[in-house]
């Protein structure tokens, strides 16, 4: 058996300007660690693009930014490219505010426009969600873990960050409650621990989770050193793997597909959209529009006869 190795700490940004930008995001913008990591990753890509062109952040021009975003638009979705553009605006404002640059390029950065109500259809029909859950082989530890994760995500509408952030102490078995922390805001809220979810988690804890793991995280990797899952890509791979076994051919199978599906299911069953928005942790109530689909059966019930 290999010797135990402590998980390495998160590495510090390689350059002084990125370290200063990280500190700026934390101290002045109040950005959570996930947002800081995302923006540093985006700016790292951008600085690598500048090096290929023979430029640095000191000599970058608006043409360099435009060329980088055009290249991103060929490789990423429109929303991802817009997110990268937002990171570049933030970085440009930081350079101006800190005196590192005398040019304000932020207001001139052009990003793809995402129409407010034009969202990609990511929700699966509830029959497909059930097929996905039934496709999980629960005869081994990884299957027990995956089933408990996917059931939580489809039941409560958790995102990847919420489900991988769960800890053993977040489950109150006597009160039948589940404490969840929003990864972006750090806000904690409590949900009822539904019987089906409680059973799945209990089976995973009894027969799936390594009994001698030293971490208090709920969901762990299936291989030594049994470290906690730390990134949303791991959740996406789990979703895609079992969706493939289930024979699902949806156009989108990312880590958020069960979150969309759960919200759509609740709306279709008559839940108040404002309540669903609160459960999902939206700061803007209008954000629920990204997670719902038209309940055609309900529209048929309220439709009026067409006059002749």
Which residues have CB under 8 Å from 88's CB, separation 6+? 42, 43, 46, 65, 68, 69, 106, 109
What is the pTM (predicted TM-score) of this model? Answer: 0.64
In the sheet that holds 171-172, the strands lie side by side as 171-172, 177-181, 188-192
**Residue 180 forms beta bridges with which residues?**
189
Report the SS3 class of residue 85.
helix
pLDDT per residue over 181-221, tens digit each?
Answer: 877 667 788 889 999 999 999 999 999 998 888 899 999 98
- pLDDT on residue 248: 87
Strand spans (E) along the chain: 171-172, 177-181, 188-192
Give me the residues of the chain with pLDDT under 70, please.
1-11, 114-121, 184-185, 271-308
Write down the residue that tokens 């407010």 correspond to. Answer: 116
The per-residue pLDDT for range 99-143, each reduced to its tens digit, is: 999 888 998 998 887 665 555 557 788 888 899 999 999 999 999
pLDDT for residue 256:
79
**pLDDT computed for residue 18 by the predictor:** 93
All CATH 1.10.150.130 domain ranges in the chain, comma separated: 16-108
| Dihedral-angle region of residue 176 (phi above 0 means left; psi in -120 to 50 means alpha; beta otherwise) | left
Q: What is the pLDDT of residue 35?
A: 87
Q: CATH homologous superfamily for 126-298?
A: Intergrase catalytic core (1.10.443.10)
DSSP string, 224-282: TT-PBP--HHHHHHHHHHHHHHHT---S--STTHHHHHHHHHHHHTT--HHHHHHHHT-
Instruction: Please state which architecture CATH assigns to domain 16-108.
Output: Orthogonal Bundle (1.10)
Give the model's pLDDT for residue 5.
Answer: 57
pLDDT value at residue 188: 83
Q: List all residues 6 or more positions away from 207 whose beta carbon is below 8 Å from its beta carbon.
A: 141, 144
The whole-number pLDDT of residue 62 equals 92
Residues carrying CATH 1.10.443.10, the chain? 126-298
Length of the chain: 308
Q: Which residues contact 151 (CB under 8 A, 6 or more apart)?
A: 133, 196, 197, 200
pLDDT value of residue 294:
46
């Amino acid at each position: 058996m290999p010797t135990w190795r402590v998980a390495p700490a998160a590495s510090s940004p390689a350059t002084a300007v990125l370290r200063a930008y990280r500190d700026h995001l934390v101290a002045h913008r109040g950005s959570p660690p996930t947002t800081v990591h995302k923006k540093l990753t985006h700016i790292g890509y951008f600085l690598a693009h500048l090096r290929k062109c023979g430029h640095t952040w000191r000599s970058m021009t608006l043409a360099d930014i435009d060329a980088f975003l055009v290249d991103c638009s060929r490789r990423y979705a429109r929303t991802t490219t817009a997110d990268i553009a937002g990171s570049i605006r933030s970085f440009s404002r930081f350079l101006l505010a800190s005196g590192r640059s005398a040019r304000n390029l932020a207001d001139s950065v052009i990003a793809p426009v995402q129409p407010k109500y034009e969202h990609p259809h990511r929700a699966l029909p509830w029959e497909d969600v059930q097929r996905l859950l039934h496709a999980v082989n629960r005869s081994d530890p990884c299957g027990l873990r995956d089933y408990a994760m996917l059931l939580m995500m489809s039941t409560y509408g958790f995102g990847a960050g919420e489900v991988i952030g769960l800890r053993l102490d977040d489950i109150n078995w006597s009160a039948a409650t589940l404490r969840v922390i929003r990864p972006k805001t750090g806000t904690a809220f409590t949900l009822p621990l539904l019987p089906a979810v409680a059973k799945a988690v209990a089976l995973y804890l009894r027969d799936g989770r390594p009994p001698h793991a030293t971490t208090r995280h709920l969901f762990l990797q299936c291989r030594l050193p049994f470290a906690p899952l730390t990134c949303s890509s791991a959740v996406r791979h789990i979703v895609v793997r079992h969706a493939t076994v289930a024979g699902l051919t949806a156009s989108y199978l990312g880590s958020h597909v069960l979150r969309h599906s759960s919200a759509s299911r609740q709306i279709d069953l008559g839940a108040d959209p404002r309540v669903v928005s609160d459960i999902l942790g939206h700061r803007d109530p209008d954000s629920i529009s990204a997670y719902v689909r038209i309940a055609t059966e309900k529209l048929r019930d309220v439709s009026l006869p067409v006059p002749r």
